[in-house]
Structure 1
Amino acid sequence: MLEQLSSVFFDEANELLDNLESQLLTLGDNPNDSETIAAVFRAMHTIKGSAAMFGFTDISSFTHEAESAMDQVRNGVIPVTGELIDLLLKARDHIRNLLDAGAEVPENYKQVSEQLIIAFKIYVSKNGGNASLNQPVKKDVPKIKKEDKLSFSWRIKFRPSKNIMKNGTRPELLIKELTEMGTATVVPFYHALAPLSEIDSELCYFSWDVILTTGKSENDIKDVFIFLDDESKVEIEKIDLLPGENNRIGEILVDRKDVSREELDKILKEHRQLGVILVDKNMVSEEQVQSALAEQQHLKSLTPGGQVATPQSPASTQTLRISSAKLDQLVDLVGELVTFNARLEQEAQEKNIAVFKSLSEQCGRVVVLMRDVSMGLRMVPVSTLFSRFRRTVHDLAAQLGKHIEMATVGAETELDKTVIEKLNDPLLHLVRNSVDHGIEMPEDRVAAGKTSVGTVTLSAKHAGAFIMITVKDDGKGLDRDVIRAKGIQRGLISENDNLSDNEIYNLIFQPGFSTAKSVTSISGRGVGLDVVKKDISTLSGTVSIETEKGMGTTFILKIPLTLAIIDGMLVTIDNAKYVVPLNAISECIAYSMPAEEKGQRFVTTTNHGKPLNCINLREFFNFGKEPPAKQEILSVYDGDEVYGLVVDKILGSQQTVIKPLGPLYGNCVGINSSSILGDGSVALILDVYQLTGLIKNSSKKAS
């Protein structure tokens, strides 16, 4: 049991550290953000307390020192600077190392702890704080900066005169000014509102109650109404009820002087809902009850210190932590169920028994729901991936002396967690390449008419059955001549080769290729982009480049949404069966091949009045037989344009369990995986993006 609890501690601590890194980088950009400062402190405090509970004293004692320093930041004693952010990031990394070490902490880790503690003391001391960090700071007594004031809750009753707007005063702006002074709850009263036919647009029919929690004084509140006309009335009184407590509605009404204590005691003896009784007896109006209820909620939402409490999301208390291994096992079992259901459907069609077919259809619907739910469990937003690179950009920029920001677009886009894990390394290489080779030094950027701060942007969006991830920088772009010269020097191309720009740029994906003039800890060994190409290929994806000299470079990755189960369209070519991902298909078209195009790999037809460039898969896969008189075309979208795949016959859609091909078939163009059909035969899954890429290149050569 203790081992299981320790495992939970490690999981939660690692999650806190992941969030902590992001919070520290955000704090570096906004040093005065009190919410982020509080979040960093809470993370340190939680890790310290949990580590002490499970007996990890080295983690607890070290984290306590960092937490104590953050407490002084939280209380405004010491400032947040770049130096402190770097120190906290080092502390965060060190806590991670201590977690990995477990109960037996190496001696060198203890030395690092001591060095970092000394560094914290030096920073705190030179910035006017208390350097005796080993003395715990009392958390029970709130510290107040000299310029701050205690927050109190006020009850403000604003009853404007009917003619207030004729005097040039806008009462809604007065209410708005009140809400900007702190945390406010506004209750409008509209009992005096006239019928629509009698409303005068120059008259005011409303009044308001405002419950305000603020550090401002009563005089500050009165100043809001300083120019009020004599007929309007304002009552301001301090609320003596405790914030954060479950104050009864009767207590609030008594405190508001809406009812007396004696009247309240008498009413309570009737054992009915208080508000209903009071309204029935005309002791208070329905609006007064509503105002008191709003005050009750306002006070309940405050902490005892008078601050707004952050409510926990109901969903957060219902979250269940499950190991990824169990999730993978579930998806594998659902995959087997999909294969079994395909066989069941085939048998039902062949036997042609009505009851059997009905049960097969019902089973199919259940399997589809199970597949969607299990796959949904594995889908996670790419923000979990993108957030890892903020630290990379921060550290590399500091190391290179560059000023670089990282931006993200479409971080909420979801992708299979297995794909996410396999994308980490290729994206890391692309980000490092953009920071090192792409973004110029600040002085070079200014000389080129740019801002001194460069930007690396990571974006994600859906494109059919694929997700498109881009890594873009606004740097100097790729130098075609330098890359070509390096390619000639390494023997990859010759002087006489007439290559397109894309063919030249793709040389950077060759193993050992580097344009760096010297080997550093960041680049120069020719290892990186070749790994990107290889890793993306194993994911059945593609990588391409768009660049403009002086404007920047964009690396575009197209990755399948999932590596487990997809909806596919089953087609035949001769006697072979293939699967095309259903999300990539836009429509199906009947087709008769002209005699002059028979035997050609690439053909063109017309669809909706526009030319449609196609690939003849019978010729591409070298079947070598006469095609049938009637064929069909699958119109597919590759994220940019629409192309056609010519097949013999379309059999219909079905769920497809993806089975990877062995290494022997790794270089098969146009095919990326396989699937087992209901009859036990194997169908190959076509790589739509490779095939459309071939069509695209053939169209360019033809033109």
Structure 2
Amino acid sequence: MMELDPAATFRQEAADLLDSLETVLLDLGQTPADRDLIDAAFRALHTIKGSGAMFGFDRVAAFTHDFETAFDLIRKGKIDANHDIVTVSLSARDYIRALIEAPDATDPIIGEAIVEELQRLIGRGDAKGAAGAAAPPAAAAGASLASGQGGWRITLAFEEQILRNGANPLALLDDLRELGPCTVLPDLARLPALADLDPESCLIGWTVTLAADCPREAIEDVFMFVRDEMRLAIAPLAEGVPDVRPGFTLDMAEAAAEPAAPRPEALSAETASHPLPGKAAPAPAGAELNRRAEDKGSTVRVQAERLDELMDRVGELVIAQARLSQLAHSGTDLAIKAIAEEIERLASGLRDSTMGVRMVPMGSLFGRFRRLVHDLSRDLGKPVDFVTVGEDTEMDKTMIERLADPLVHLIRNAIDHGIESREARASTSKSATGRIELSARYVGAQVLVTVQDDGAGLDTARIRAKAEEQGLVQPGATLSEQEIHQFLFHPGFSTARTISALSGRGVGMDVVKRTIEAMRGAIDLTTIPGHGSSVTLRLPLTLAIIDGLLIRVGEGRYIIPLSAVEECIELTAADEARSRGRSFLSVRGELVPFLRLRELFDAQGAADPHQKVIVTAIGGTRIGLVVDQIIGSHQTVIKSLSKLHADVTMFSGATILGDGTAALILDVAQLVSLGQGRADDRTPEAA
């Protein structure tokens, strides 16, 4: 049986907590008075500190302690949350991640500078402590219930297996001591004879007298993540009657022997309504946060590599099922045909279920860019509202991973080039705060991801001038605005007047185009001068299995992604005559250039007498592909080409057909570019 690495478990749990912390801090920057957000930030920091100390990440625990203290002061109202504290806390979050992932490569000077900045900000707000300490009369009535006048008496005992689960009761007692002076008395009544003692069982209880006027919540927070594995009773010293919280049931005789123990009837009533299930494994560091999501359905963490392996196995099963179906239908045995149909149904269901498991909501990707917008807005001095729409739209996890870098470039460009300065926006009667909207939606078998800003829009004249300067177009050539805007995606093209850390080298949009085309997607770019620009990425749902159209060109068979196919028509002799060698086809009054795949692929033998034209479209550009035969639709499992075929741009992959032979998958985006280039070279005469 594979043993879990505690350090690896902590790193994974800490990564989730740090992601949640970043989201909470960004929200807190917009609503600094939100008590729920302040509490959430404190809990995340408290968990990271406690778990870090437990698993040996002492530098993490020591560094996090200062920020936990700061948010504790904010919770108590002694200082206010503000933009500066949120900003330094975001820097601290990044430093904590570095301490966890690469502690040896992390410069301690950076951590010291962050802590010094925090202390400076806290010191600025210390004057509020005296004023904030005076609670209004309405709140004063409940103050004695929230804090122990003269201190607290705390009685606690843990389940026997808590040591095996990784918790350290002595460390929890140390946390109590940080709240104030403590007197700790052990209860040894449950200890057996020495011969029967199990060193891994926790049989000692404690009674703690805490001489500190702290809130009850501060004590409860110490035991936040072990509450289900202990009995905790808290009472003000002035009352002497502990407040019983749900937990496991101790033997009543033992409980009665404890100082200030709860009344047996109260204890039995509480534990009867809160039974403790048996536990076989320790709760993760984020158990308290995860427990809140149980009502929404339980989840299981699975390594991404296992999902990839499962998808590969399902792909092989789909190929084998296709071969079985072809063999079954070529014979006359009805029983074999029935089995083949049943396996086809099961394979189809398994394929859909596996692809569903791999689907990830876009919100998991969109959340990453809030920090990007926050930092760029600060660095460039441009206030920006970042709005996301369609977070529930799902895509394959592989698509999500590849989409991150292109969106980073698009959002950077939108803020750097699109959104104007405060002064420029004021001169055009715009709001001082810019707006960037990141949205996702389904359109057929595609997902459309759009980055839209309300900036100045594209300067078409400047783009054209830069293109002429670089020799990309001849001066005076007739080009549409859409064609001019496409120069933005040319390698090395930039309209920036100066090179900065963000832009000016002309590589960002080139990266976007190459990445999106590698994902079999397309880019639509629109702009309205003075009102902003919009970049839409058209993407398939998945890169693993697609619906394809199986065609024949000469003796070879090929696959065209069905999502790119608009219609199929016959290339008649009249169409051939009208084109007059210019390779244009009139489709309902619109001229569509077409490519003869026989010529591109150097197919041998005579062409079929009734050739077909498959009209495809990518990003609003249409092109026809002339083929010999359309065989039909085909469930296509995509296999990547080897590195030896890296320069073969017309194909994006390959698949295995039912008879065991291979078929290449056409890269429609590359064919559209090729056809468009030929159309530019040979403009047709009016039909």
What TM-score, normalized by structure 1, do the two folds share?
0.68
1:487-527 per-residue CA deviation (whole Å, 9 max, x = no partner) reads 22223333243333223222222222222222222222333
Check 1:566–1:60 CA distance in 2 against 1; reply closer, same or farther (3 A cut). same
The answer for the alignment partner of 1:683 in structure 2 is 663
Check 1:456–1:365 CA distance in 2 against 1; reply closer, same or farther (3 A cut). same
Q: Residue 386 of structure 1 aligns to which amino acid in structure 2?
A: F
The answer for the alignment partner of 1:122 in structure 2 is 120
Structure 2: distance between partners of 1:633 and 1:336: 32
The one of 574, 585, 590 aligned to 1:603: 585
The answer for the alignment partner of 2:494 in structure 1 is 514
The answer for the alignment partner of 1:38 in structure 2 is 39
Check 1:33–1:567 CA distance in 2 against 1; reply closer, same or farther (3 A cut). same
Structure 1: distance between partners of 2:354 and 2:451: 30
Deviation at 1:13, TM superposition (A): 0.8
Q: Residue 684 of structure 1 aligns to which amino acid in structure 2?
A: L
The answer for the alignment partner of 2:149 in structure 1 is none
Structure 1: distance between partners of 2:424 and 2:490: 29
Structure 1 residue 673 corresponds to structure 2 residue 674:
no
Deviation at 1:46, TM superposition (A): 1.5
Structure 2: distance between partners of 1:701 and 1:614: 10
The answer for the alignment partner of 1:486 in structure 2 is 466
> How is 1:294-313 mapped onto 2 (pairs within 5 angstroms)?
312-313=292-293
Check 1:684–1:151 CA distance in 2 against 1; reply closer, same or farther (3 A cut). farther
SS in 2 for 1:597: helix
Deviation at 1:60, TM superposition (A): 1.0
Check 1:492–1:322 CA distance in 2 against 1; reply closer, same or farther (3 A cut). same
The answer for the alignment partner of 1:112 in structure 2 is 110
Structure 2: distance between partners of 1:144 and 1:369: 63
The answer for the alignment partner of 2:572 in structure 1 is 593
* Conserved? CA contact 2:517–2:669, under 8 Å: no
* Conserved? CA contact 2:523–2:535, under 8 Å: yes
**Greater shift in the superposed pair: 361-370 or 616-625:** 616-625
Check 1:646–1:48 CA distance in 2 against 1; reply closer, same or farther (3 A cut). same
Q: Residue 497 of structure 1 aligns to which amino acid in structure 2?
A: A
The one of 368, 371, 378 aligned to 1:391: 371
Structure 2: distance between partners of 1:321 and 1:525: 41
Check 1:567–1:661 CA distance in 2 against 1; reply closer, same or farther (3 A cut). same
> How is 1:159-170 mapped onto 2 (pairs within 5 angstroms)?
none
Check 1:359–1:143 CA distance in 2 against 1; reply closer, same or farther (3 A cut). farther
Which structure 2 segments of 5+ residues have no match? 145-242, 248-272, 275-288
The answer for the alignment partner of 1:555 in structure 2 is 535
* Conserved? CA contact 1:603–1:616, under 8 Å: no
Give the number of aligned pairs: 538
Deviation at 1:548, TM superposition (A): 2.2
* Conserved? CA contact 2:653–2:665, under 8 Å: yes
The answer for the alignment partner of 1:270 in structure 2 is none
* Conserved? CA contact 1:467–1:561, under 8 Å: yes
SS in 1 for 2:557: strand
Q: Residue 421 of structure 1 aligns to which amino acid in structure 2?
A: E
Q: Residue 35 of structure 1 aligns to which amino acid in structure 2?
A: D
Deviation at 1:618, TM superposition (A): 4.9
> How is 1:215-364 mapped onto 2 (pairs within 5 angstroms)?
312-314=292-294, 318-364=298-344
Structure 2: distance between partners of 1:341 and 1:652: 17
The answer for the alignment partner of 2:55 in structure 1 is 54
The answer for the alignment partner of 1:90 in structure 2 is 91
**Greater shift in the superposed pair: 473-482 or 498-507:** 498-507
Structure 2: distance between partners of 1:585 and 1:521: 41
The answer for the alignment partner of 1:569 in structure 2 is 549
Deviation at 1:88, TM superposition (A): 0.7
* Conserved? CA contact 2:554–2:598, under 8 Å: no
Structure 2: distance between partners of 1:314 and 1:653: 43
1:161-197 per-residue CA deviation (whole Å, 9 max, x = no partner) reads xxxxxxxxxxxxxxxxxxxxxxxxxxxxxxxxxxxxx
Check 1:666–1:556 CA distance in 2 against 1; reply closer, same or farther (3 A cut). farther
Q: Residue 451 of structure 1 aligns to which amino acid in structure 2?
A: S
Deviation at 1:86, TM superposition (A): 0.6
Deviation at 1:324, TM superposition (A): 0.8
Check 1:429–1:146 CA distance in 2 against 1; reply closer, same or farther (3 A cut). farther
Deviation at 1:448, TM superposition (A): 1.4
Q: Residue 593 of structure 1 aligns to which amino acid in structure 2?
A: T
**Greater shift in the superposed pair: 617-626 or 680-689:** 617-626
Q: Residue 604 of structure 1 aligns to which amino acid in structure 2?
A: S
Check 1:701–1:551 CA distance in 2 against 1; reply closer, same or farther (3 A cut). farther
Structure 1 residue 70 corresponds to structure 2 residue 49:
no
Deviation at 1:402, TM superposition (A): 0.9
Deviation at 1:578, TM superposition (A): 2.3
Structure 1: distance between partners of 2:99 and 2:91: 12
**Greater shift in the superposed pair: 527-536 or 61-70:** 527-536
The answer for the alignment partner of 1:440 in structure 2 is 420
Check 1:48–1:81 CA distance in 2 against 1; reply closer, same or farther (3 A cut). same
* Conserved? CA contact 1:44–1:67, under 8 Å: yes
* Conserved? CA contact 1:601–1:619, under 8 Å: no
Identity %: 39
SS in 2 for 1:412: coil
Structure 1 residue 477 corresponds to structure 2 residue 457:
yes
SS in 2 for 1:318: coil
Q: Residue 5 of structure 1 aligns to which amino acid in structure 2?
A: P
Structure 2: distance between partners of 1:59 and 1:130: 30
Structure 1: distance between partners of 2:295 and 2:658: 40
* Conserved? CA contact 2:551–2:632, under 8 Å: yes
Structure 2: distance between partners of 1:430 and 1:483: 17
Structural RMSD (CA): 3.7
> How is 1:168-179 mapped onto 2 (pairs within 5 angstroms)?
none
Structure 2: distance between partners of 1:412 and 1:144: 44
Check 1:596–1:534 CA distance in 2 against 1; reply closer, same or farther (3 A cut). closer
Check 1:696–1:29 CA distance in 2 against 1; reply closer, same or farther (3 A cut). farther
> How is 1:414-453 mapped onto 2 (pairs within 5 angstroms)?
414-453=394-433
The answer for the alignment partner of 1:370 in structure 2 is 350
Check 1:499–1:633 CA distance in 2 against 1; reply closer, same or farther (3 A cut). closer
Deviation at 1:536, TM superposition (A): 2.0
Deviation at 1:648, TM superposition (A): 4.2
Deviation at 1:689, TM superposition (A): 5.4
Q: Residue 60 of structure 2 aligns to which amino acid in structure 1?
A: I
The answer for the alignment partner of 2:513 in structure 1 is 533
Structure 2: distance between partners of 1:310 and 1:346: 49
1:21-42 per-residue CA deviation (whole Å, 9 max, x = no partner) reads 1221111111122222222122
Deviation at 1:337, TM superposition (A): 1.5
What TM-score, normalized by structure 2, do the two folds share?
0.70
The answer for the alignment partner of 1:21 in structure 2 is 22
> How is 1:580-659 mapped onto 2 (pairs within 5 angstroms)?
580-583=560-563, 591=570, 593-597=572-576, 601-605=583-587, 615=594, 618=597, 621=600, 628=608, 647-659=627-639
SS in 2 for 1:675: strand
Check 1:592–1:427 CA distance in 2 against 1; reply closer, same or farther (3 A cut). closer
* Conserved? CA contact 1:544–1:555, under 8 Å: yes
